[in-house]
Structure 1
Amino acid sequence: MKTKTNRKLTKSNDRVFAGVLGGIAEYLQWNATVLRVLFVLLTLASHGAGILVYLLLMTIMPSKPGNAGFFEQMRQAGQTGSEQPTARRSRGRKEIHNVHEEDEPHHQD
């Protein structure tokens, strides 16, 4: 007897590009690498039609709750890239301790 589960088709964190194939693999409970290889083979056999299907699914499929999509991650990276957290701010010159300095080795002729 099968149990009823509330699975939703969403983009995955197991992503190479946008998480579409990883999300489909999670939904179908398949290995994501096998699905990606099949996708590439079918895309080559269909003269590139798989690319259009992928782009369509990339725009339609929702991200998992709490996970930002590709474009949201890019927007967040652009906003936080200009701001430095207070813990990472430079506090002047760095000091180096316990350094042993040697001259270049002398060559004996």
Structure 2
Amino acid sequence: MNLDSLETTALNEMLEAFEQCSSEVIERQVTSSGFFTVIKCERPILPFTQESERTWQFSHPDLIDGGFFVCWPLNDVELCLEAVSNSGRWPLEVTAIQAPHPPLR
């Protein structure tokens, strides 16, 4: 599977080197408050190490309190991206991000 535009935008905001990396979705699961995606990259993304975790807050008209993404490595070439609604409910209509904020590190 390919990354969707929401996942791509979040990863590009959190990981500088991600734009130059070819990747594929291994797994995508919807949760009650968002979703998570496991992604395999063609090569390691440096300096993203296994001790790293990146967070990025965003706002969206369908998420009254906004939401955030968390990304962490599973190994050298796989990472997990999780999206969470701050209000606890993730509407299926959320497909694009508006008014991005700088990543929190």
After TM superposition, the score normalised by the length of structure 2 is: 0.25
Q: Which has the higher Rg, Structure 1 or Structure 2?
A: 1
Which has a greater percent of strand?
2
